[in-house]
A and B are shown apart, each in its own frame.
Chain A
Amino acid sequence: MQQQDIEAQYVIEDSQVREDGQRVDTMTINMGPQHPSTHGVLRLILTIEGETIVKAVPDIGFLHTGIEKTAEAKTYHQALVLTDRMDYLAPLNNNLGYSLAVEKLLGIEDEINNKIKYVRVLLAELQRIASHLVWLGTHALDLGAMSVFLYCFREREMILDIFEEISGVRMMTSFICPGGLQADLTPAFDGKVRDFTSIFLDRLQEYHDLLTNNQLWIERTRGVGVLSAQDAIAYGASGPVLRGSNVVWDIRKAFPYSGYEQFNFDIPVGSNGDVYDRYLVRMLEMEQSLHIVNQALEGMPAGPYRVSNPKIAPPPKWQITGSMEALIHHFKLYTEGYRPPPGEVFVRTESPKGELGFYIVSDGSAKPYRMHVRGASFANLQVLPLMIEGRFLSDVVAAIGSIDIVLGEVDR
């Protein structure tokens, strides 16, 4: 890039001439990247005229960690760990998307049994609730409702305890992996999930009591950050942002993956596309997720927790000590990994943030030739200027919170 081009970006026009010839004084202010309400390291360059935002330019990349580049140097199993770190509030949903993509590349989708599918769905939905709880807590905190944050983290803690119970890790579990799951469920798992599901509906009602009919909350959110359905689709918004704008679209329904077609659930949609609608959509989604968790728990089939194909999943420990062949498989798997045939797949899943897509290109080697992640937050953040331009400065925080971005996924 030329020197003058770079300099041009730093030039700040502080007075502009309107179309009718009137000269208006504007001020350019910087918001972030170190700002408590940008949910990470988002920087916004805001041009304001009085209290009104004339122009908003998001500046991202402060958390760019080169995950796509790093994945090219890892085997397929190692690259799984990187996916946890993208949307760090919903690692299991990332694992699920990645695992489905690798399984599709390997062509072993039919080998995934119902037990694996049910556990995956159950965990993905618990993770969705956990992610939405962090969103709700921080969103409410941004708008001044402090106590909601504490309640939300109380319930999220129970979900993290469940993950700790089965995997030993609270957040970056990597529990869902290509070929199945890392380990079998523990005996205490069922009870812990039931402990959570038995109280969560009441707790959800508590949040509703605190916010849904709260006049202050309604004043801050209703009619704020409006996004039309047409714009939402054109700008690539997905997930609750798209559904808040009254578009009935959920990848779990449209392209059912991992056995979602076996579960009953509804897709909540908003009507106006404002912050309040997106709030309600996520609140109702948590209820639907709980519904799915209950169904998965009741109908949990028995079965092995990973595929029996020794080229993809390691053989059980008792075989390794007794069988030469199993030992060789184990050794080959952890030194070389598996080699999918040359080809490319793009797998969409519905993460808590929206459409999470994994595009993996294989050249027949044990490492992905290219892994591209279509981060939901990345595309959703693109609509932020549409929501806030022409609105008041104080609504920026409400709009950012309602998009529910995770900068780890935006910058990757």
Chain B
Amino acid sequence: MAITATSTVVMVREKFPQAVVETSDFRGEQTIVLRPGHLVAVCTYLQKTLRYTFLSSVTAVDWLERVPRYDVVYHLLSIPNQSELRLKLRVGEGHKQREDHPAVPSVTGVWPAANWYEREVYDLFGIIFTGHPDLRRILMPMDWTTHPLRKDYPLSGFDLPEPHWGGQVPYDVDPGVGSQTMRTPFSRELNESRSKISQDQEPGTKKT
């Protein structure tokens, strides 16, 4: 029997009844919403048994008002069966703060390609992939503190410079900073110690 996206959904439902939250079909594209705990088991089954050998992308969607807040989306492709499938996790219960990082199991063990994709999601959304071998920022500078693709991140960035541009320092408090900044991790500490800004203050917030 040829494996299609529709038959895959049926097989996953039969094999992992407790893992599947719901499935949907929009414009002919099949989506399986999974519980995060079962992700690796389902992915291993899809990769080994149903031969979804190619991971096209891992990404996330931030639904700011919703609980759980984030969708983590995986697009799979089966080259032998010419079939495509989307997996989705809903994570981030109660993660309303900017510092909160919901955790998702990493699928790098199943598809090595997930390495960079997950780094990208971590970088831009702040979702942590547990078990990832090298979870570092990939697109933003290493000393960036926030996650730009979150919906509560303003489009034009924060009013204040990010550490990359000279530390967590408002222009009106310490005008000297900004003219002499180096792109090193140490400049941030240097600049922060020069100004009297509290470490707890979030970048971009007005001092109360």
Known: A3-B185, A357-B56. A345 touches B29 (CB 8 A): yes
B73 interface contact, C-beta 8 A: yes
Q: Is the CB of B54 within 8 A of A344?
A: no
* Complex alpha-carbon distance, A382 and B137, angstroms: 15
**Chain B neighbourhood of A361, CB < 8 A:** 61
Q: Is the CB of B53 within 8 A of A233?
A: yes
**Chain A neighbourhood of B56, CB < 8 A:** 236, 346, 348, 355, 357, 374
**Chain A neighbourhood of B113, CB < 8 A:** 234-236, 379, 382
Within 8 A of A (CB), among B69-94: 73, 75, 77, 79, 82, 84, 86
Q: Which B residues are closer than 8 A to A by beta carbons?
A: 26-27, 29, 31, 53-57, 59, 61-62, 73, 75, 77, 79, 82, 84, 86, 111-113, 115-117, 120, 124, 136-143, 148-149, 153, 155, 185, 189
| Complex A-B: 24 CB contacts under 8 Å | A1-B137, A6-B185, A68-B149, A69-B155, A70-B155, A104-B27, A105-B27, A233-B79, A236-B111, A247-B79, A249-B79, A254-B82, A345-B29, A346-B84, A348-B77, A357-B56, A357-B75, A361-B61, A370-B62, A372-B59, A374-B56, A374-B57, A378-B120, A382-B115
- Please provide the 8 A-B residue pairs with the shortest distance between their CB atoms, ordered closest to farther: A236-B113, A374-B57, A6-B185, A61-B139, A372-B59, A64-B139, A343-B26, A370-B61
Minimum CB–CB distance from B78 to chain A (whole Å) comes to: 10
Q: Is the CB of B148 within 8 A of A255?
A: no
Q: Is the CB of A359 within 8 A of B75?
A: yes
Minimum CB–CB distance from B182 to chain A (whole Å) comes to: 13
Q: Which A residues are closer than 8 A to B by beta carbons?
A: 1, 3, 6-7, 9-10, 60-61, 64, 66, 68-70, 72-73, 104-105, 107, 233-236, 238, 247, 249, 254-255, 343-346, 348, 355, 357, 359, 361, 369-370, 372, 374, 378-379, 381-382, 411-412
* Complex alpha-carbon distance, A382 and B134, angstroms: 13
Number of A-B residue pairs, CB cutoff 8 Å, is: 103
Q: Is the CB of B57 within 8 A of A345?
A: no
* Complex alpha-carbon distance, A10 and B116, angstroms: 20
Q: Is the CB of A69 within 8 A of B143?
A: no
Q: Is the CB of B27 within 8 A of A107?
A: yes
Q: Is the CB of B84 within 8 A of A348?
A: yes
- Residue in A closest to B62 when the chains form the complex, CB atoms: A370
* Complex alpha-carbon distance, A105 and B55, angstroms: 22
* Complex alpha-carbon distance, A170 and B27, angstroms: 35
Minimum CB–CB distance from A345 to chain B (whole Å) comes to: 6
Q: Is the CB of A9 within 8 A of B136?
A: yes
Minimum CB–CB distance from B157 to chain A (whole Å) comes to: 9
Minimum CB–CB distance from B59 to chain A (whole Å) comes to: 4
**Chain B neighbourhood of A64, CB < 8 A:** 139-140
* Complex alpha-carbon distance, A345 and B31, angstroms: 10
Known: A73-B155, A247-B79, A255-B82. A359 touches B185 (CB 8 A): no
Known: A3-B185, A64-B139, A104-B27. A378 touches B148 (CB 8 A): no
Q: Is the CB of A346 within 8 A of B29?
A: yes
* Complex alpha-carbon distance, A346 and B189, angstroms: 43
Minimum CB–CB distance from B27 to chain A (whole Å) comes to: 5
- Residue in A closest to B57 when the chains form the complex, CB atoms: A374
Q: Is the CB of B116 within 8 A of A382?
A: yes
Q: Is the CB of B155 within 8 A of A374?
A: no
In addition to A346-B86, A361-B61, A378-B120, 10 A-B residue pairs with Cβ atoms within 8 Å of each other are: A6-B185, A69-B148, A70-B155, A234-B111, A236-B111, A247-B79, A345-B29, A359-B57, A372-B73, A374-B56
* Complex alpha-carbon distance, A61 and B54, angstroms: 24
* Complex alpha-carbon distance, A305 and B131, angstroms: 51
* Complex alpha-carbon distance, A12 and B136, angstroms: 17
Minimum CB–CB distance from B30 to chain A (whole Å) comes to: 11
Minimum CB–CB distance from A346 to chain B (whole Å) comes to: 5
**Chain A neighbourhood of B120, CB < 8 A:** 378
Q: Is the CB of A7 within 8 A of B185?
A: yes
* Complex alpha-carbon distance, A387 and B141, angstroms: 26
* Complex alpha-carbon distance, A98 and B79, angstroms: 23
* Complex alpha-carbon distance, A382 and B57, angstroms: 13
Q: Is the CB of B116 within 8 A of A378?
A: yes
- Residue in A closest to B26 when the chains form the complex, CB atoms: A343
**Chain A neighbourhood of B140, CB < 8 A:** 61, 64
Contact with A411, one of B57, B117, B139, B189 (Cβ below 8 angstroms):
B139
**Chain A neighbourhood of B27, CB < 8 A:** 104-105, 107, 343, 345
* Complex alpha-carbon distance, A6 and B124, angstroms: 18
- Residue in B closest to A382 when the chains form the complex, CB atoms: B116
**Chain A neighbourhood of B75, CB < 8 A:** 346, 357, 359, 374
Q: Is the CB of A6 within 8 A of B61?
A: no
Q: Is the CB of A1 within 8 A of B142?
A: yes
Minimum CB–CB distance from B143 to chain A (whole Å) comes to: 6
* Complex alpha-carbon distance, A78 and B117, angstroms: 27
Q: Is the CB of B79 within 8 A of A234?
A: no
